[in-house]
Amino acid sequence: MKTLGLVLAVATVLPVRAMVFDFDSGAQGWTGADNDGQSPFGTGGVALSVDYQSSGGNPGGHISITDPSNLDFYFVAPANVLGNQSSAYGTTLSWELKVTGNTYDPVPDVVLRGAGLELVLDVGPAPTPDLWLGYSVVLNETGGWRKGTLSGATPTASEFQAVLADLTGLRIRGEYFAGGLGSEVGSLDNVNFAAVPEPAEVLGWSAGLCLAGAFWFRRSRFVR
């Protein structure tokens, strides 16, 4: 029973692997969307392609979108970020952003969508033009998130967990300039999202736990 308790205790500290998008070798599946400036922010809109830049990031490569309209454009996370991301609860989402203008700030800066809910967040003042600025937000109900709109209610712990358990959308705002049609550029780099451990890592931990269990079992037979 002591061996089983040890194995279970160690199993509860399986590491959470962060998905890192440094864009040094490509866009890594990220796309864009032009939103109409109204809720919902995390779905629909006009699909956009991103431009991959092999240099000019912070450091290395990055992705960018040039403002195609009078709507608000967002960077859209790829499919491998979506699904059951329960292990990300309580961790952080971080990214770096550079924009060419910052004349307004009326819409969410980051959007999570899942389980029929949409969580939005205002991360603070608009970024300083032409400088890379880092952001880090907590992925739980204490991080300033709101339901639906920036004036919406604070989600409960169970609601936030439900969103992460069935994540269907993650969007990061790229536009902060009113009227920048054809000239405003939003650039994204170094996105880090905490996610479920990869299967290979889980198997490795399981094998290690089995060996540890076998050792303690054999030891317990001879140490009386």
Tens digit of each residue's pLDDT (9 = 90 or more) over 83-106:
999 999 999 999 999 999 888 778
Q: What would the pLDDT profile of 194-214 be if each residue is shown by its tens digit?
A: 844 444 333 343 444 344 444
Per-residue pLDDT, averaged over 33-49, amounts to 85
Compute the half-sphere exposure of residue 32: CA atoms within 13 Å on the CB side of its CA.
25
Closest CA to 193 of 25, 19, 8: 19
Closest CA to 167 of 137, 194, 201, 132: 194
Share of the chain above pLDDT 90, in %: 62
Element (H, E) at 168: strand 167-173
Q: How much is the pTM?
A: 0.80
Per-residue pLDDT, averaged over 175-188, amounts to 84
CA-CA distances (angstroms) from residue 70 to 66, 78, 179?
12, 25, 6
Assigned CATH class of 15-196: mainly beta
Q: What would the pLDDT profile of 114-141 be if each residue is shown by its tens digit?
A: 999 999 999 988 889 999 999 999 999 9
The pLDDT of residue 95: 96
- Judged on CB neighbours under 10 Å (0-12, 13-18, 19+), 132 is middle
Per-residue pLDDT, averaged over 37-52, amounts to 87
Cα–Cα distance measured from residue 220 to residue 217, given in angstroms and rounded to the nearest whole number: 5
Residue 75 in tokens: 């960077």
Q: Where are the domains of the chain?
A: 15-196
The pLDDT of residue 102: 87
Averaged pLDDT score across all residues of the chain: 82
Closest CA to 61 of 99, 94, 28, 25: 25
Asked whether 93 and 193 are in contact (CB, 8 A), the reply is yes
